[in-house]
Amino acid sequence: MKDGLLVNALNEQMNFEFYSAHVYLAMAAYCSGESLDGFANFFLVQAEEERFHAMKIYKFLNDRDHRATLAALPQPKNEYTSMLDAFEHAFAHEQQNTKKFYHLADLALDEREHATIYFLKWFIDEQVEEEALFSNIIAKLKRIETDSNAFYMLDAEFAGRSFTPPAE
């Protein structure tokens, strides 16, 4: 892989993954402020996953003799009107991320950069899982609406969520 468009795009994606972690940390802080520790834990785990993704790209760039370049992170949204609002924003963020990975895959295909194509497949598969996760949670939140018992059961369920990096 030669320096150029693809390397720049990988660096941009790495920084977007760090920004994604920042977004989810802000969502966790919102949840904590609402005394919803399970939901806060959900987003803390999500932030950890995003940092893992960023570091995976960082390592790939270094392994391919390219320099990972860090950029400033934009301020994330910090206020939401409800838990549904937070999850809808998270889902839209994941959809944006999917589009970014598709663009990266297109660049890798154009450059016939097979190692990068193979590397990006993992992320594209991950995005399918991420979008499904958020879509399902949104459906649950809409279904329970004002049922506070169901809402707190979901909060308790998320309290047990953890992140284990996948085996390579």
Single-letter amino acid code for the residue at 39? F
CB 161 within 8 A of CB 45: yes
Taking the C-alpha atoms of residue 7 and residue 109, their distance in angstroms, rounded to an integer, is 13
Residue 95's contacts (CB-CB under 8 Å, 6 or more residues apart) are 131
Closest CA to 101 of 1, 17, 4: 17
The DSSP line for 37-66 is: HHHHHHHHHHHHHHHHHHHHHHHHHHHTT-
State yes or no: 131 annotated in a binding site.
no
State yes or no: 53 annotated in a binding site.
yes
State yes or no: 95 annotated in a binding site.
no
10 Å CB burial of residue 46 (0-12, 13-18, 19+) is buried
Instruction: Show binding-site residues for Fe cation.
Output: 17, 50, 53, 94, 127
Instruction: Show binding-site residues.
Output: 17, 50, 53, 94, 127
